[in-house]
Amino acid sequence: MHGRIAVIGAGALGSLFAGRIAASGREVVTIDIDLARLSEIERHGIRWRENGIERHARPGAASARNIDGPINIFLFTTKAAALPAAIRSVKHLAADDSTAISFSNGLRHETTLMSLSGDTTPLLAVTDVSADLVAGVIETHGRGTIWIGGVDASSRRAVAAATELLRHARFTVEPQDDPRPSIWEKAAFNAALNATATIAGKPVGFLDNASGRWILDAVAREVVSVANALGINARLSTVLERVDHALSAQGDHRPSMLQDRDAGRPTEIEAINGAIVEMAGKVNIDVPVTRTLANLVRILEPTQQARGLSAGICEGDASIRV
List all residues 6 or more positions away from 167 whose beta carbon is below 8 Å from its beta carbon.
173
d(C-alpha 30, C-alpha 26), whole Å: 13
Distances (CA, A) of 271 to 48, 83, 109, 146, 150: 28, 11, 10, 20, 20
Question: In angstroms, how far is CA 33 from the centroid of its own chain?
Answer: 18
- Laid out side by side, the sheet with 132-134 consists of 53-57, 46-50, 137-139, 132-134
Residue 306 — very low, low, confident or very high, per pLDDT cuts 50/70/90?
very low
Contact 99, 162 (CB under 8 A): yes
d(C-alpha 128, C-alpha 140), whole Å: 11
Q: What is the DSSP string of 281-304?
A: HHTT---HHHHHHHHHHHHT-HHH
Helix/strand number for the chain, H first, E second: 12, 12
* pLDDT tens per residue across span 72-107: 999 999 988 888 899 999 999 988 888 999 998 888
- When pLDDT is averaged across residues 279-297 and rounded to a whole number, the result is 97
Cα angle 229, 207, 182; round to 5: 35
Closest residue by Cα to residue 273 from 301, 254, 298: 298
* pLDDT tens per residue across span 225-280: 999 999 999 999 999 999 999 999 888 888 889 988 998 988 999 999 999 999 99
- When pLDDT is averaged across residues 49-67 and rounded to a whole number, the result is 91
